[in-house]
């Protein structure tokens, strides 16, 4: 009988001790609260690319479109960043024996001033901003469309970009698929 | 309690929901992070002597909402048009400073919030001259985010790149050289382009003036220009856009550049170029290799995005076949007790 009572009491005693520790420890540490904020990342992507369909023609055709770049710096580092875009050739797929369209036929035609979606306000000096020399040009070379200097760009920003694709005369009917590489970077 | 077959069919029906979602996840741009471990700053900024080595670590993380197959690699760094940092694309064989990095190219499947630390070594070759050197580390999505359908489709690769900057102590010499001028037209905008090189051993940020003159040497454009970083040992171009494009004729352009920090500069004379009526951007053009037929089919499928539908159909067919098997087994089990009762074979 006594042995059973001891057996019943032992687990209860352990629970009581643990409960007491759980209550006591926070009280002992009540003077200090620590919150660690882990760093996020920088990211850049484009969306809403509009390039209309085209029909075959005996003349070169230029297809103008727009896309929206979104750049985000959630690192909390306030160390600035740069965004570049670069295109590959447009690879032909279809049944008509077409030829790839070179990347040099895809151009950046305009880069608007960015808009803030969240976070730090835009500075005319520190950015984010369009580089001093306009980035318009052919996208067979990487083009920097947006940059934030040291202590700026700690937020989310969008930028409207104008693009244009020139389809050579007598191009075959089919699908032309390119790959756009957006890069956000940190460098000296 | 569920039979084995019933459990399998339940799992398969759950898989039919899961698999299409995984395929569809490739439509969300990747949000990858690349962070030096144990270093201050967003990129590696090292001072090392020739012949020395150092162990480093970088964290590759997925900050997006979907699982990502990420690729990380070391790449050459270069000066992009008008200056600034560029990291070479995957597939380019590293040369120069990038070869100092013993950084294994690898593909990592990262769940949302997942991260992996990659250890690597940098070793500066013996006898490397003093100066500033640059390489890069890159993380990107392996599976390009699919663009829309139509006759023109654009897929997307999202990269994050950080520099690995190495400073080897010793004498410094700054230099900038202006090279040849050229002219091209693209999408209704024309560009006068100068070759700009940094043969010195320190990074520069040249700025100055661009002047365009017509055949009578009359100034028609005079503007200030400010380049971003032109890294030591690299060359690039300064492209000045002009709208509308220049009419046919003979022109000349001059460029003056100075790096304010080092007071180093160069200037060109008025270099001539001719604009003809046919002055248009000319890409590499020509034939490109076409993929094999079965690869072509894969490209067509990807372009038209029927992959998801195909997977769902296959899953449903398998599910239907499994249910037929389950029902047949049930019938067989019912027939066995009947035979036991009657004592006659079925």
Contacts of B287 in chain A (CB under 8 A): 99
User: Which residues have C-beta within 8 Å of that of residue B38, sequence separation ≥ 6?
Assistant: B57
Q: In this model, does residue B161 exceed pLDDT 60? A: yes
**Ramachandran class of B307: left when φ > 0, alpha when ψ lies in -120 to 50, beta otherwise:** alpha
- Which residue did the predictor score with more confidence, B211 or A50? B211
Predicted local confidence at residue A16, as pLDDT: 53
Alpha-carbon dihedral angle through residues B205, B38, B40, B235, given to the nearest 10 degrees: 0
Q: Across the interface, which of B160, B229, B296 has its CB nearest the CB of A43?
A: B160
Q: Across the interface, which of B42, B186, B241 has its CB nearest the CB of A79?
A: B42
Cite the beta strand spans of chain B per DSSP E. Answer: 32-36, 44-47, 53-62, 68-79, 85-87, 101-102, 106-110, 115-123, 131-141, 152-168, 177-186, 189-198, 206-213, 219-226, 234-242, 249-259, 264-267, 271-275
B228 touches A at CB < 8 Å = yes
- The token duo for B39 is 């270093």
pLDDT, tens only, B113-158: 999 999 999 999 999 999 999 999 999 999 998 876 678 888 999 9
- The token duo for A156 is 């989310």
Q: In this model, does residue B286 exceed pLDDT 50? A: no
Q: Across the interface, which of B281, B296, B304 has its CB nearest the CB of A104?
A: B281
- The token duo for B214 is 């017509």
Average pLDDT score over chain A? 85
Contact across the interface for A175 and B300, Cβ inside 8 Å: yes
Banded pLDDT at B309 (limits 50, 70, 90): low
Q: Across the interface, which of A53, A99, A186 has its CB nearest the CB of B287?
A: A99
Contacts of A77 in chain B (CB under 8 A): 41-42
- Closest to B138 (Cα-Cα) out of A186, A123, A120, A164: A186
Mutate to test the interface with A, among B77, B140, B283 (most CBs of A within 10 A): B283
Contacts of A104 in chain B (CB under 8 A): 186, 281-284
Predicted local confidence at residue A12, as pLDDT: 54
Predicted local confidence at residue B40, as pLDDT: 84
- Which residue did the predictor score with more confidence, A85 or B245? A85
Give me the mean pLDDT over the B261-266 stretch: 97
Predicted local confidence at residue B49, as pLDDT: 97
Contacts of B73 in chain A (CB under 8 A): none
Contact across the interface for B152 and A86, Cβ inside 8 Å: no
Element (H, E) at A180: strand A175-186
**Ramachandran class of A17: left when φ > 0, alpha when ψ lies in -120 to 50, beta otherwise:** alpha
Contacts of B203 in chain A (CB under 8 A): 188
Mutate to test the interface with A, among B42, B161, B206, B237 (most CBs of A within 10 A): B42
Q: In this model, does residue A121 exceed pLDDT 80? A: yes
- Closest to A42 (Cα-Cα) out of A183, A146, A150: A183
Cα four-point dihedral sign B99, B104, B110, B114:
negative
Contacts of A86 in chain B (CB under 8 A): 89
Nearest CA in chain A to B304: A175
B192 touches A at CB < 8 Å = no
Nearest CA in chain B to A99: B287
Predicted local confidence at residue B341, as pLDDT: 43
Contacts of B30 in chain A (CB under 8 A): 43, 45
B residues 306-345 lying closer than 8 A (beta carbon) to A: none
B47 touches A at CB < 8 Å = no
- Closest to B116 (Cα-Cα) out of B42, B59, B34, B32: B59
CB atoms inside a 10 Å sphere around CB B276 = 9
Predicted local confidence at residue B138, as pLDDT: 98
Tally C-beta pairs within 8 A across A and B. 227
Q: Compute the nearest-CA separation of B237 from chain A (Å).
A: 10
B284 touches A at CB < 8 Å = yes
Cite the beta strand spans of B37-176 per DSSP E. Answer: 44-47, 53-62, 68-79, 85-87, 101-102, 106-110, 115-123, 131-141, 152-168
Contact B125, B104 (CB under 8 A): no
pLDDT, tens only, B195-236: 999 999 999 999 999 999 999 999 999 999 999 999 999 999
Contacts of B184 in chain A (CB under 8 A): 138
Q: Across the interface, which of A75, A107, A135 has its CB nearest the CB of B42?
A: A75
pLDDT, tens only, A8-19: 555 555 555 555
Q: Across the interface, which of A41, A62, A79 has its CB nearest the CB of B32?
A: A41
Nearest CA in chain A to B205: A188
Whole-angstrom distance, CA of residue A158 vs CA of residue B35: 24
Burial code (b: 16+ CB inside 10 Å, e: under 16) for B100-110 equals bbebeeeebeb
Average pLDDT score over chain B? 82
B residues 27-46 lying closer than 8 A (beta carbon) to A: 29-35, 41-43, 45
- Which residue did the predictor score with more confidence, B247 or A37? B247
**Ramachandran class of B231: left when φ > 0, alpha when ψ lies in -120 to 50, beta otherwise:** beta
Whole-angstrom distance, CA of residue B99 vs CA of residue B75: 9
């Amino acid at each position: 009988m006594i042995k059973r009572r001891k057996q019943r009491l032992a687990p209860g005693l352990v629970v009581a001790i643990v409960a007491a520790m759980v209550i006591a420890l926070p009280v002992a540490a009540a003077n200090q609260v620590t919150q660690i904020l882990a760093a996020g990342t920088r990211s850049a992507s484009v969306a809403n690319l509009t390039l209309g369909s085209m029909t075959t023609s005996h003349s070169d055709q230029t297809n103008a479109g727009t896309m929206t770049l979104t750049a985000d710096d959630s690192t909390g580092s306030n160390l600035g960043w740069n965004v570049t875009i670069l295109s590959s050739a447009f690879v032909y797929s279809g049944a008509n024996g077409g030829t790839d369209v070179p990347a040099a036929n895809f151009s950046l035609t305009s880069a608007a001033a960015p808009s803030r979606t969240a976070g730090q306000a835009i500075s005319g000096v520190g950015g984010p901003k369009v580089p001093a020399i306009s980035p318009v040009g052919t996208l067979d070379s990487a083009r920097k469309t947006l940059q934030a200097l040291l202590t700026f760009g700690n937020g989310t920003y969008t930028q409207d970009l104008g693009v244009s694709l020139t389809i050579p005369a007598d191009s075959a009917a089919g699908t032309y698929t390119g790959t756009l590489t957006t890069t956000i970077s940190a460098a000296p | 309690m569920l039979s084995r077959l019933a459990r399998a069919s339940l799992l398969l029906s759950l898989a039919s929901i899961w698999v299409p979602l995984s395929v569809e996840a490739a439509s969300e741009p990747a949000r990858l992070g690349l962070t030096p471990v144990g270093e201050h700053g967003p990129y590696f900024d090292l001072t090392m002597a020739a012949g020395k080595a150092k162990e480093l670590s970088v964290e590759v993380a997925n900050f997006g909402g979907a699982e990502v197959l990420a690729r990380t690699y070391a790449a050459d760094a270069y000066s992009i048009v008008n200056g600034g940092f560029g990291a070479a694309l995957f597939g380019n064989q590293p040369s120069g400073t990038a070869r100092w990095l013993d950084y294994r190219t690898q593909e990592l499947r990262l769940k949302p919030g997942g991260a992996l630390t990659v250890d690597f070594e940098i070793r500066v070759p013996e006898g490397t001259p003093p100066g500033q050197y640059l390489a890069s580390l890159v993380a990107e999505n392996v599976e390009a985010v699919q663009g829309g359908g139509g006759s023109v489709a654009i897929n997307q690769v999202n990269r994050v790149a950080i520099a690995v900057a190495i400073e080897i102590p010793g004498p410094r010499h700054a230099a900038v050289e202006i090279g040849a001028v050229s002219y091209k037209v693209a999408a209704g905008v024309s560009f006068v382009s100068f070759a700009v090189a940094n043969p010195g051993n320190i990074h520069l940020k040249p700025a100055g003036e661009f002047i365009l003159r017509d055949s009578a040497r009359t100034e028609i454009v005079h503007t200030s220009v400010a380049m971003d970083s032109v890294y030591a040992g690299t060359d690039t171009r300064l492209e000045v856009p002009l709208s509308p494009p220049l009419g046919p004729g003979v022109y000349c352009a001059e460029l003056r550049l100075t790096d304010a920090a080092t007071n180093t500069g160069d200037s060109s004379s008025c270099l001539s170029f001719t604009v003809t009526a046919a002055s248009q951007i000319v890409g590499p053009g020509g034939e490109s290799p076409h993929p094999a037929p079965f690869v072509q089919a894969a490209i067509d499928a990807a372009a038209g995005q029927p992959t998801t539908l195909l997977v769902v159909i296959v899953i449903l067919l398998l599910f239907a076949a499994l249910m037929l098997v389950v029902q047949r087994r049930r019938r067989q089990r019912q027939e066995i007790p009947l035979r036991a009762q009657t004592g006659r074979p079925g």
